[in-house]
Structure 1
Amino acid sequence: MSRRISQGILVVGSIGVLINIADAIESGHLEPHHAVPAVIALGAGGELLKERRPRAARALYAVMSVLLVVAGSVAGARAWASLFKGADYSWLDLGLGVLVVLYVAVSTGRLLAHLSHRASKSRRTAGMLSE
């Protein structure tokens, strides 16, 4: 992604965070989908820092992942519970819950593939050293 696009996304996400803070102060409570602009801003910040400060970028990605999983789990659980009870539910919260399930599945698959690749590489290196 180009640097200019990442900067634009960071600005838009930051404005969304400010709007959601004002909305939370006015309404008196936070909704799980209020975390979406923060997730977007953290992802753009991580993208901007990826080349110059990789450790800081990984930290932002980690915070983004935790925030996405927690907010999506809360939103999804409430929406699915309301759906099964036959009560009113938010399509946004339901979609966020589905997104989190997909995100966790893909992240778990990537982690397992990475660990498998590392173990395979380690075995090859150990084999070369023993010869």
Structure 2
Amino acid sequence: MSRRISQGVLVVGSIGVLINIVDAIGTGHLEPHHAFAALVALGAGGELLKERRPRAAKALYALASVLLVVAGSVAGYRAWASLFRGATYDWLDLALGVLVVLYVAVGAGQLLAHLSRRASKSRRNADMLSE
């Protein structure tokens, strides 16, 4: 993504965060969908910092991932609980719950693959040293 687009996305995400803060204050409670403007802003910030400060960019990406999982889990849980009770529910929140489960599963699979490669590489290095 170009720098100019990332800057525009950061501005739009920041405006969305401010709007969601005002909305949360006005309604008196925070909803899971209020987190998504922050996700946009964090992603754009990570993109802007990727070249100059890669560690800070990784931290922003990690924070965005945690925020996504928490907000998506809350929204998905509420929707699925309403579905099973027979109450009204939002299809978008149901889908979001499923997508968060898939996101976590893919992340866990990537982590296990990385750890497996690292362990096999470590075993190969140990075998080479023992010979």
TM-score (norm 2): 0.90
Aligned residue number for residue 67 of structure 2: 67
The one-letter amino acid paired with 1:18 is L
Aligned residue number for residue 82 of structure 2: 82
Answer yes or no: is the 8 Å Cα contact 1:82–1:89 preserved in 2. yes
Query: RMSD across aligned C-alpha pairs, in angstroms?
Result: 1.5
| More moved, 2-11 vs 15-24 | 2-11
Answer yes or no: is the 8 Å Cα contact 1:33–1:96 preserved in 2. no
Aligned residue number for residue 99 of structure 1: 99
Percent identity, please.
83
Q: Distance in 2 between matches of 1:64 and 1:50?
A: 14
Deviations along 1:83-129, one digit per CA (max 9) or x if unpaired, are 11121112232222122111101111111111111112222222222
Runs of at least 5 residues in structure 1 that lack an aligned partner in the other structure: none
1:127 aligns with 2:127: yes
Aligned residue number for residue 23 of structure 2: 23
The offset of 1:15, in angstroms, is: 1.4
Aligned residue number for residue 56 of structure 1: 56
- Residue 13 of structure 1 aligns to a residue whose secondary structure is helix
Q: Distance in 2 between matches of 1:107 and 1:73?
A: 15
1:38 aligns with 2:29: no
Q: Distance in 2 between matches of 1:5 and 1:117?
A: 36
Aligned residue number for residue 7 of structure 2: 7
TM-score (norm 1): 0.90
- Residue 52 of structure 2 aligns to a residue whose secondary structure is coil
The one-letter amino acid paired with 1:92 is L
